[in-house]
């Protein structure tokens, strides 16, 4: 646990902890006060909610870093920290935002109380589609694209299962429902509660390194490269090649749970990597294929991190205080324009942002956390029913159910409609709200490409219980938020209130984390709960601050000035239009590519409505003010 705190941090916490007893951060009267309160919360969380469950593999001085790792990421995530080579690497365990002494993985009978399948059917099932009208469906594809960069627990042993009890009348084909157990990490796995394991390994790297594009092994990476001018393989038709081992799926770094939205983003950013290679090659004609690849990898992964920080996040958490906070996270309180002109104003991440500041772990080795994974379970964003648009004709070409555009159907579906039409369709369609009774039906009866049938809503519930992520009220208490004392306090929806009460046998403390987060009222402009947001406040900056390629080594000697400028000056809109310039009318006037796009008619002209224009103009002015 981190224990250091500056005098300024102590003063902020002393002031806002008293304020927050009477009103929440988002209820303060000005954007500046809200942003300062968020800063206070982040400092508090750094001090009390970072824990080390692993041990350093090496200490500085026992082994000098190899020359080739100093200015290049490694596929398995080793050597990001030059004093602890294994930190954050593939296979290392997830850490915790909850004191490990308080972690108690649930076992029968508690793990089945109430049945996770009952929770899925009675509280999660989509009764009708509830759209998130301030976002487009590209935002839904994006977060899955990023999650595949960050974490995966692996598939587990099919012979080691949990048996989920079913209610009478449930039409699931086997009773009980069998769910594979998560495989614990063998080492460092003696939990505080009588020896049960609390550490589970990440099959991906913990770093924000684009592993969903580049893979996590050298062999996988080599299979994706042309080995000419640093580039990734793109077929003559402008598509990623097919995976030779899995029909219907693209060959890319991570292609689990694949669908057309992921295919669009994987292809788009493989092309962006190649465009970076072209720019670097033009300036450095003597560079080797390996150096071009390594530098373009750095630039492209940093660009994805920036897009997530300053575009996706302010899109789904649509409030000026968050626009300010996320831009300060990246560029500092004085903005990117001043930073570009005069450079950093010292080491302070407040003044000049985290990017380019000194690397720091806040006294706990960097690993992603089980709690981080829990709050990023955002499956309600996914639509069941999709309108696929014909961009040139200005009409809907097909209405299709999710099952028909994912898994082995992905590549045939992209072949049928083309990337331009599909990216446009993502831009003009809305995702779902992250709320109760809005879980996609397709994912409650989802057949994996290997044939296994699963209910992901049931899985979301049982995984938290199995891995010792506290239930909703205990989670809030561990994050120093007030417990919900009644179902009336939990939700202002009277019908939901009675449904939750019935499922959890009138025991508010049994409510699962996912159910509580989906039920609670959200702050104005928020696409997810304030409870989830507490983990986000902490981990959003930590993923940047701990990574030396975003901090100490974000410099021209490593990235080149061209590479740094590419990261700084590029937005998601630029990436899309670089590779699909025909979509310019759909994006005209929009400051953020995750806002709903303009619909384009058969005449090629945008038909954006007045509300959309007004919202886009408001966001544009707010962002300009932040950078002024």
| CA angle at 348 for the pair 346 and 352, rounded to the nearest 5° | 80
* CA distance readout (Å), 185 to 72, 151, 156, 375, 557: 28, 15, 12, 22, 38
Dihedral of alpha carbons 224, 225, 230, 232, sign: negative
Whether residue 145 contacts residue 267, with contact meaning beta carbons closer than 8 Å, is answered with: no
**Cα separation of 184 and 198, whole Å?**
7
Max alpha carbon distance in the chain (Å)?
70
Cis peptide before 415 (omega within 30 of 0): no
- Residue 396 pairs with which residues in a beta bridge? 389
Whether residue 212 contacts residue 262, with contact meaning beta carbons closer than 8 Å, is answered with: no
φ/ψ of 420, rounded to 5, equals -60, -50
Cα atoms found within 13 Å of the Cα of residue 26, Cβ hemisphere only: 16
List 148, 266, 308, 379, catalytic entry: 148
* CA distance readout (Å), 398 to 328, 395, 401, 571, 600: 42, 9, 10, 30, 17
Residue 148: active-site member? yes
DSSP letters spanning 415-462 = HHH-HHHHHHHHHHS--B-SSTT-B-HHHHTEE-TTS-EE-HHHHHHH
CA dihedral 380, 152, 157, 466 (to 10 degrees): -60
Report the catalytic residues.
148
């Amino acid at each position: 646990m981190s224990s250091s705190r500056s005098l300024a941090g102590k003063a902020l916490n002393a002031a806002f902890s008293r304020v927050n007893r009477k009103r929440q951060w988002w209820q303060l009267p000005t954007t500046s006060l809200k942003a300062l309160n968020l800063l206070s919360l982040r400092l508090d969380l750094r001090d009390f909610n970072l824990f080390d469950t692993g041990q350093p593999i090496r200490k500085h001085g026992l082994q000098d870093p190899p020359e080739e790792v100093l200015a290049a990421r490694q596929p398995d995530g080793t050597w990001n920290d030059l004093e602890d080579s294994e930190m954050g690497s593939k296979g290392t365990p997830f850490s915790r935002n909850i004191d490990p002494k308080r972690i108690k993985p649930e076992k029968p009978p508690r793990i089945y109380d109430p049945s996770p399948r009952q929770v899925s059917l009675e509280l999660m099932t989509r009764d009708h589609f509830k759209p998130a009208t301030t976002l487009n469906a590209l935002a839904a594809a994006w977060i899955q694209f990023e999650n595949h960069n960050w974490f995966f627990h692996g598939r587990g042993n099919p012979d080691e299962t949990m048996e989920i009890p079913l209610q009478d009348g449930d039409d699931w084909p086997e009773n009980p429902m069998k769910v594979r157990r998560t495989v614990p990490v063998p080492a460092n796995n003696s939990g505080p509660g009588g020896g049960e394991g609390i550490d589970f390994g990440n099959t991906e790297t913990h770093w924000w390194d684009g592993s969903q594009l580049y893979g996590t092994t050298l062999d996988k990476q080599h299979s994706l490269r042309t080995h000419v001018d640093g580039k990734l393989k793109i077929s003559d038709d402008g598509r990623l090649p097919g995976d030779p081992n899995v029909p219907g799926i693209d060959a890319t770094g991570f292609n689990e749970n694949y669908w057309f939205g992921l295919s669009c983003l994987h292809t788009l950013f493989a092309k962006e990597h190649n465009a970076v290679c072209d720019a670097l090659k033009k300036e450095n004609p003597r560079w080797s294929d390996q150096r071009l690849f390594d530098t373009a990898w750095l630039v492209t992964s940093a660009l994805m991190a920036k897009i997530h920080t300053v575009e996706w996040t302010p899109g789904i958490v649509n409030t000026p205080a968050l626009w300010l906070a996320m831009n300060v996270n990246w560029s500092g309180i004085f903005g990117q324009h001043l930073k570009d002109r005069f450079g950093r104003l010292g080491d302070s991440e407040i003044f000049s942002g985290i990017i380019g500041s000194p690397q720091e772990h806040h006294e706990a080795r960097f690993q992603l956390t089980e709690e981080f994974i829990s709050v990023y379970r955002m499956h309600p964003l996914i639509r069941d029913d999709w309108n696929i648009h014909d961009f040139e004709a200005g009409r809907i070409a097909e209405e299709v159910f999710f099952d028909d555009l994912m898994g082995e159907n992905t590549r045939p579906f992209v072949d049928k409609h083309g990337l331009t039409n599909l990216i446009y369709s993502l831009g003009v369609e809305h995702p779902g709200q992250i709320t109760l009774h809005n879980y996609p039906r397709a994912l409650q009866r989802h057949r994996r490409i290997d044939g296994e049938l699963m209910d992901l809503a049931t899985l979301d519930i049982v995984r938290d219980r199995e891995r010792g992520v506290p239930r909703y009220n205990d989670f809030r208490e561990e994050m120093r938020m007030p417990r919900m004392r009644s179902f009336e306090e939990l939700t202002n929806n009277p019908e939901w209130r009675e449904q939750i009460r019935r499922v959890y046998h009138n025991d508010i403390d049994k409510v699962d984390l996912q159910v509580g987060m989906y039920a609670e009222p959200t702050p104005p402009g928020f696409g997810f709960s304030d409870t989830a947001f507490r983990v986000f406040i902490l981990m959003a900056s930590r993923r940047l601050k701990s990574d030396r390629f975003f901090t100490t080594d974000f410099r021209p000697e490593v990235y080149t000035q061209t590479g740094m400028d590419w990261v700084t000056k590029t937005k998601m809109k630029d990436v899309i239009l670089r590779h699909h310039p025909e979509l310019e009318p759909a994006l005209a006037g929009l400051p953020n590519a995750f806002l709903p796009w303009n619909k384009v008619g058969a005449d090629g002209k945008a038909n954006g409505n007045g509300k959309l224009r007004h919202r886009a103009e408001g966001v544009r002015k707010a962002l300009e003010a932040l950078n002024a």
